[in-house]
């Protein structure tokens, strides 16, 4: 059957119909996705701008994630420092109460120190996931252990409750002070010489290396006070024999921008923590049988005084109390917050850029879609008429 419409006209009508269908399809996808195109070729002239904005946004999001991780670890660190501070406060309170009757309160005081020391180790070995918080850069290993090879326990009185425990301080003097003081002397002679500047005279202890408490103070009544006082000596903190720490001197850091890295956290070798460990160790290692109140009272009083230093800030010294350590740990939070705010602002800016490049104006697209629907409907109608038009119909 011969058609009246020319082939060219039919093909042109078909072309416009297909074009209208394609625009309608594209418009539907744009409405559904909110994007101008599904690949970079659809926005070829702005693709570099989009890729740059996407890359910068991803870096900012990574920095924010790093900041969030650091803030979480700081919070966990501070929470455990709070627990450590509470141990020191409770030890001070226990010792203060026990001073009314050191021998009578000896068992409970000693047991508290044993339990508190175990709790302190637990706090120092706190983790964020599989990362130990107080181990410096050795994040894969616990920060503290009483089974550490370098650990030397502090004990002032032997198990017999009548003899001075010379082992700790004899080793302490040999390793830290060397041959200073009384070069070839026994433990007793060394301690006496350190205090008085002269060698002791008779009566000397029967065993110079293991004097009884009474023999120890027989020639100098203040020698026991001096001996106990060395728990908080500068040398003790500079060269601690109480080497429970198993980490290193490193400190955690967070990369918060292209050019900025912020250090945060702390390790378990801080002086205040060492001092607390020495105090707990001293009380926990007292003999099961109580010594006389005279000797125990001085130990309780001195360790209680050590806790004052551990807990309370003293601006006249460089010693950092736990209160000051907590302030230092929390210090980077403001910088983290302001840096994160900057990244959030940039991410919002990058989102605007990306939306400008690949986003659509929904009202505009809907208007075009409706127009294309009208065009497509007219095209279908015209095409149907052309398909059905014949010479017979034309003549009729």
Would you list the DSSP string of 279-293? HHHHHHTS-SS---H
DSSP 70-131: HHHHHHHHHHHHHHHHHHHHHHHHHHHHHTTSTTTTHHHHHHHHHHHHHHHHHHHT-EETTE
* pLDDT at residue 236 in the model: 82
* Separation of alpha carbons 363 and 334, rounded Å: 43
**Residues with Cβ within 8 Å of residue 344, at least 6 apart in sequence:** 64
Same domain? For 26 and 112 the reply is no
Q: Convert the pLDDT of each residue in 109-160 to its tens digit.
A: 999 999 999 999 999 999 999 999 999 999 999 999 988 887 878 899 999 9
Is the model's pLDDT at 263 over the cut of 60?
yes
Q: Would you tell me how many other CB atoms lie within 10 Å of the CB of residue 250?
A: 14
Contact 169, 230 (CB under 8 A): yes
- Residue 327: inside a domain, yes or no? yes
Q: Where is pLDDT greater, at 336 or 148? A: 336
Looking at 315, 341, 367, the residue that finishes a domain is 341
Write out the residue range of the structural domain in which residue 351 sits.
Answer: 7-54+345-395
For the chain, first and last CA: distance in Å?
A: 15
Is the model's pLDDT at 179 over the cut of 70?
no
Nearest 10 degrees: CA dihedral of 12, 18, 19, 24? 150
Contact 290, 46 (CB under 8 A): no
- DSSP class of 262: E
Nearest 10 degrees: CA dihedral of 199, 203, 206, 212? -90
- Residue 185: inside a domain, yes or no? yes
Q: What is the mean pLDDT of residues 261-283?
A: 93
- Residue 353: inside a domain, yes or no? yes
Same domain? For 73 and 33 the reply is no
Q: Convert the pLDDT of each residue in 9-50 to its tens digit.
A: 556 655 655 655 555 555 555 555 555 454 544 444 455 665
Which of 172, 236, 226, 174 has its CA nearest to residue 197?
A: 226
Lowest-pLDDT range of 8-22, 268-282, 294-308: 8-22
* pLDDT at residue 151 in the model: 80
* pLDDT at residue 241 in the model: 66
- Residue 158: inside a domain, yes or no? yes
Q: Is 388 exposed, middle or buried (0-12, 13-18, 19+ CB in 10 A)?
A: exposed
Same domain? For 298 and 366 the reply is no
- Residue 381: inside a domain, yes or no? yes
- Residue 59: inside a domain, yes or no? no
Counted domains in the chain? 2
Give the whole-number percent of the chain exceeding pLDDT 70: 73
State the sign of the Cα–Cα–Cα–Cα dihedral 210, 212, 217, 222.
Answer: positive
The pTM is what? Answer: 0.77
Same domain? For 260 and 369 the reply is no
Is the model's pLDDT at 256 over the cut of 60?
yes
* pLDDT at residue 1 in the model: 43
Cα 66 from chain centroid? 12
Lowest-pLDDT range of 191-195, 196-200, 274-278, 346-350: 346-350
Produce one character per residue of 181-192: b if its CB has 16 or more CB atoms within 10 Å, e if not.
bbeebbbbbbbb
Q: Residue 332: pLDDT band by 50, 70, 90 thresholds?
A: very high
* Separation of alpha carbons 313 and 319, rounded Å: 8
Is the model's pLDDT at 395 over the cut of 60?
no
- Residue 21: inside a domain, yes or no? yes
Same domain? For 141 and 280 the reply is yes
* Separation of alpha carbons 160 and 214, rounded Å: 13
Q: Where is pLDDT greater, at 396 or 241? A: 241
Same domain? For 265 and 175 the reply is yes
**Residues with Cβ within 8 Å of residue 351, at least 6 apart in sequence:** 57
Reply yes or no: is the peptide bond before residue 203 cis, omega within 30 of 0: yes
Lowest-pLDDT range of 119-128, 250-259, 357-366: 357-366
Looking at 297, 321, 341, the residue that finishes a domain is 341
Same domain? For 273 and 361 the reply is no
Looking at 319, 341, 363, the residue that finishes a domain is 341
Contact 57, 351 (CB under 8 A): yes
* pLDDT at residue 2 in the model: 44
* Separation of alpha carbons 336 and 387, rounded Å: 71
Which of 334, 267, 358, 289 has its CA nearest to residue 49?
A: 358
Q: What is the mean pLDDT of residues 91-115?
A: 94
Which helix H or strand E contains 255, and what residues bound it? strand 252-255
Q: What is the mean pLDDT of residues 289-295?
A: 93
Same domain? For 86 and 216 the reply is yes
Contact 340, 64 (CB under 8 A): yes
- Residue 1: inside a domain, yes or no? no
The CA angle 39-43-44, to the nearest 5 degrees, is: 100
Same domain? For 19 and 154 the reply is no
Q: Residue 366: pLDDT band by 50, 70, 90 thresholds?
A: low
Q: What is the mean pLDDT of residues 162-183?
A: 76
Same domain? For 38 and 98 the reply is no
Same domain? For 220 and 80 the reply is yes
The CA angle 83-86-90, to the nearest 5 degrees, is: 145
Same domain? For 128 and 37 the reply is no
Q: What is the mean pLDDT of residues 69-85?
A: 96
Q: Where is pLDDT greater, at 357 or 308? A: 308
């Amino acid at each position: 059957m011969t058609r009246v419409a020319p082939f060219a006209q039919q093909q042109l009508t078909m072309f416009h119909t297909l074009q209208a269908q394609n625009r309608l399809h594209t418009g539907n996808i744009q409405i559904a996705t909110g994007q101008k195109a599904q690949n970079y070729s659809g926005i070829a002239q702005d693709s570099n701008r989009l890729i740059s904005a996407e890359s910068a946004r991803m870096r900012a999001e990574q920095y924010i994630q790093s900041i969030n991780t650091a803030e979480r670890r700081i919070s966990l660190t501070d929470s455990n420092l709070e627990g450590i501070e509470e141990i020191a406060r409770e030890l001070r309170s226990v010792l203060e109460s026990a001073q009314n009757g050191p021998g009578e309160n000896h068992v409970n005081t000693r047991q508290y120190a044993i339990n508190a020391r175990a709790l302190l180790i637990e706090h120092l070995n706190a983790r964020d996931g599989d990362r130990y918080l107080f181990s410096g850069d050795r994040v894969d290993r616990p920060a503290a252990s009483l089974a550490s090879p370098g650990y030397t326990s502090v004990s002032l009185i032997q198990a017999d409750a009548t003899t001075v425990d010379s082992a700790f301080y004899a080793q302490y003097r040999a390793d830290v002070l060397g041959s200073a003081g009384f070069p070839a002397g026994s433990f007793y002679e060394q301690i006496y010489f350190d205090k008085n500047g002269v060698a002791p005279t008779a009566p000397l202890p029967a065993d110079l290396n293991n004097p009884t408490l009474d023999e120890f103070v027989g020639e100098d009544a203040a020698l026991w006070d001096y001996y106990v006082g060395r728990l908080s000596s500068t040398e003790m903190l500079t060269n601690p024999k109480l080497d429970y720490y198993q980490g290193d001197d490193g400190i955690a850091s967070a990369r918060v921008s292209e050019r900025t890295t912020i250090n945060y956290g702390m390790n378990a070798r801080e002086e205040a923590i060492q001092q607390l460990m020495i105090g707990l160790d001293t009380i926990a290692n007292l003999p099961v049988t109580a010594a006389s109140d005279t000797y125990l009272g001085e130990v309780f009083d001195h360790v209680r005084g050590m806790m004052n230093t551990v807990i309370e800030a003293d601006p006249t010294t460089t010693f950092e109390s736990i209160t000051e350590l907590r302030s230092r740990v929390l210090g980077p939070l403001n910088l983290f917050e302001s840096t994160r705010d900057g990244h959030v602002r940039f991410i919002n800016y990058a989102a605007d850029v990306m939306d400008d490049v690949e986003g659509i104006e929904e009202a505009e697209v809907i208007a075009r879609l409706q127009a294309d629907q009208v065009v497509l409907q007219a095209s279908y109608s015209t095409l149907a008429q052309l398909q059905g038009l014949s010479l017979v119909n034309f003549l009729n």
